[in-house]
Structure 1
Amino acid sequence: MEYTYSEDMKRRLKRIEGQVRGVLRLMEEGKPCKEVVCQLSAVRNAADKAMAQMVAENLQQCILEEQEQGGDTGKLVQEAVELLVKCR
């Protein structure tokens, strides 16, 4: 199975990359810890949302393929949930 990633997903990750560069810039400028931590929190939230979106998009594709083969889609959903919980 070949996975495809949407342009939206790639844009999300590029935005996160920019946020990380912004955090480094804050550190290099000697900004207060509170500012750096707030920006890191924003990076974490963006990454969490990107992971959830990625799993959701690929789960749809996997479910359609599994249904075509007459397989158990419930197992796929359970695996997706476990993946999100494990990676948190």
Structure 2
Amino acid sequence: MQVNEETRTPVLNRLRRAQGQLSGVISMIEEGRDCKEVVTQLAAVSRALDRAGFKIIASGMRDCAGAEGGELTEAELEKLFLALA
């Protein structure tokens, strides 16, 4: 997958964070932890994955917008896309 360096680093950071959170959720389930705690952490994993995906999509949208003379920044495109979620 081709992602520019400006996008790659934050996406990888978010994915690594999600990976750690998911490992925590697995451990919590194995330990028989409280359902509410597990669901809360699982929701955090889901949000981290969503945000990484949104960042990748926003980067692609920026490239498309730039090709058509758009003036939106990647952050603005990401914010617009997140508004749809």
Bucket of the pairwise TM-score, normalised by the shorter protein? 0.5 to 0.7
Q: Quick check: which has more Rg, 1 or 2? A: 1
Pairwise CA RMSD: 2.6
1:41 and 2:40 matched: no
How many residues matched? Answer: 72
Of 45, 53, 60, 1:58 maps to 60
Identity of paired residues, percent?
34
Query: 1:9·1:50 contact (CA, 8 Å) conserved in 2?
Result: yes
**Where do 5+ consecutive residues of structure 2 fail to align?**
70-76
**Structure 1 unmatched runs, 5+:** 69-76
TM-score for both structures, normalised by structure 1: 0.66
After superposing on structure 2, the runs of 4+ consecutive aligned residues of structure 1 that deviate more than 2 Å are none
Residue 32 of structure 1 and its aligned partner are, at CA, apart by: 1.2
Q: When the two structures are superposed, what TM-score results if normalisation uses the length of structure 2?
A: 0.68
**Matched ranges for 1:7-86 at <5 A:** 7-64=9-66, 66-67=67-68
